[in-house]
Chains A and B, each alone.
Chain A
């Protein structure tokens, strides 16, 4: 670890340090920070003249906000540095040097935002002093700072991973890169905001894995703690514990993904093991939220049905990320045929394997989750409404898994066949199938044949629609027919696609 964090041993860290720590750059950053602090002090003094406590509170909040902002800019900087490294080709030089891949990632993670880290640490004494004056304990301040550092590391690492995942052509185009960045940010916000909204009213006094685990929570909390002093939220140390239990696995996952990308950039975006790890992580978060939600007074029995859209989303994500490309299929053929190619053990055959194998494992995992939920709510938490929902959940999960299998087969057939040259055509086809046809179907009367037919092949619209429909009308005959026929049709199509995939593979052999 020491060698990873020393410029004398970590080349990437040294390069970032040399570039970012030029005296002129550092000086201008410090001056900018000083100006912000002076203006804040003036503003607080003028507005709240005579009220010393409020001046201190405002200064504390602004200083902590500055730390948050600077750390976030550091994370953006880390992503931008990886992009620059890839475009200029210097990352390739690091890749063909005898450094460990982990050292390169650590160098980027710590080195690229090093100036921002130093600026944030310069603000630290200010936060401590203002915190004391504002009545915070030393433990509180430590917890707020730990939460911030952990979040900054996680976001930086995920920016790095995000930029490593983008292919070269998209990376070189600034517009494409920015749109990818925006999409990433929106996804990040959604991931953290949706659970927060879902917890509103239900989890304020309870423990929410999603809500308490990310930076905005601590930011809003410090504001409330500074001004109102009436803390209705959970103890701060428990909130930090939740954050550690979520973000440390996320950090490990981030390192794993980044190291894999540096080792074999031509492989599928995720290995099958990584895809399973992501799914397990998401399911664990969901389960934690579920337990938390039902432990509270205001229980939402329908929340258990969230597993259906979640398994749909994670299934599509996994099928997309683990599908082998044509190159890997050919390599898989070489590996199988042997003949002097046994040396190519670095690329495991599983990477070339069809995503069908991943989908089977994923289906088992999803059904294990439903069994866990069923056991939980029939033994530990006896809840009639939830038990009643489970029969629908089993069929709904089967339906979304069939849809995912259908998409996985189609996507793999597309990649292995000649179609892969026209990616835009595939995107248009999926857009029509997933968005246009279902929206057209929704114009028809609810429960009519046309209404349901439009949804058969659209996982993203069918999942929420069937849950809403079930919430409104229950498990009606129409819904049952739709789900069972959807399962049969999608599985038949998946069978056709995967059979075709297997034939293609045989031909490649």
Chain B
């Protein structure tokens, strides 16, 4: 659905995107993560056909964006990190303008507009001027505009910025729903915890290149990241604690209360299973054993600290 090969974007003296490859298939939600200036916005803008890259190839929904951009635009929904709106229009009028732009048949226009206005909880603002809308509401409106023509490909540049928690939940649900219907989504965001819950795979960008890309599980295994163990024991606990402290890959054993303990664990799934079996053999009575994976923020910090190879 989205195929980017060797994309390179230059601004005067700066190379914003230095030859990246990316594939987003039907039903996938790929997150672009990276610090400011990493090249995420440039990548999305170039994919949308808004800035002209130096080289590479972009194919959206089967359309080569340089040979046949009109076909690509017909199937693409683009949302930037700010809200481009007509201040002087009403909510429904704004959506009507873009319904016309995307050649939605006249008899379907109002039905679709009403659907997305309701879906994004903008009903109360239907006949209000955009000038009076909050930033979050404007983001919702631009999201409605982006989804109005039922695109097969979504390019979203920090869509949740400025949205309230309810708006973010709506956004997440809608994107998951669209992905289930076969839409390919490329999304960039700084709200990493939400990317964690939303994306099927991630690409971490810095200085115009991908440091790491793949599914979350792939990235975790690549980084061999640490996870946190939560263990609940029924007294006596001494032998279990002794075992935990000696176990390779375990550090920082701490008691949260009299029978709940946490520890940093750097092993994989098999090692965790071996530990549980060892605790059982040592006579420890384990009432709960869970491994909490490393949060996206921590992963991001780890990746960001690495040098670009």
Contact = CB atoms under 8 A, between A and B. Distances in A.
Interface in A1-32: 7-11, 14-15, 18-19, 22
B268 to A, nearest CB: 39
A38 to B, nearest CB: 30
Contacts of A334: 54-55
Given A14-B96, A97-B101, A89 B12 contact: no
B87 to A, nearest CB: 8
B85 A96 contact: no
Given A9-B100, A88-B85, A421-B13, A340 B70 contact: no
Contacts of B102: 97-98
Contact of B86 (A9, A88, A330): A88
Contacts of B57: 340-341, 343
A420 B11 CA distance: 12
Contacts of B6: 340
A92 B66 contact: no
A326 B12 contact: yes
A90 interface: yes
A331 interface: yes
B73 A98 contact: yes
B80 A96 contact: no
A10 B100 contact: yes
Contact of B55 (A7, A326, A344): A344
B248 interface: no
Given A19-B86, A98-B103, A331-B54, A420 B12 contact: yes
B76 interface: yes
A8 B84 CA distance: 22
User: Which of B55, B80, B85 neighbours the largest number of chain A CB atoms within 10 Å of its CB?
Assistant: B55
A347 interface: yes
A356 B55 CA distance: 25
A92 B50 contact: yes
Interface residues of B, number: 42
B261 interface: no
Interface in A73-113: 88-90, 92-100
A11 B97 contact: yes
B299 to A, nearest CB: 32
B98 interface: yes
Nearest to A334: B55
A14 B93 CA distance: 9
Given A96-B49, A330-B54, A11 B100 contact: yes
A231 interface: no
Contact of A92 (B12, B13, B70, B84): B84
Given A18-B89, A90-B85, A327-B12, A96 B54 contact: no
A422 to B, nearest CB: 12
Given A340-B5, A420-B12, A96 B55 contact: no
A99 B80 CA distance: 19
Contacts of B56: 341
Contacts of A343: 57, 64, 66-67
B80 A92 contact: yes
Contacts of A100: 70
A94 B94 CA distance: 12
Nearest to B55: A334
A89 B66 contact: no
B67 A346 contact: yes
A99 B98 CA distance: 10
A346 to B, nearest CB: 5
Given A11-B98, A15-B97, A98-B102, A266 B84 contact: no
B74 interface: yes
Contacts of B106: 8
A96 B66 contact: no
Contacts of B54: 327, 330-331, 334
Interface of B: 5-6, 10, 12-13, 48-52, 54-57, 64, 66-67, 69-71, 73-74, 76, 78, 80, 82, 84-89, 93, 96-98, 100-103, 106, 145
Lowest 7 CB-CB distances: which A-B pairs, in order?
A89-B84, A11-B101, A97-B101, A19-B88, A11-B100, A334-B55, A98-B74
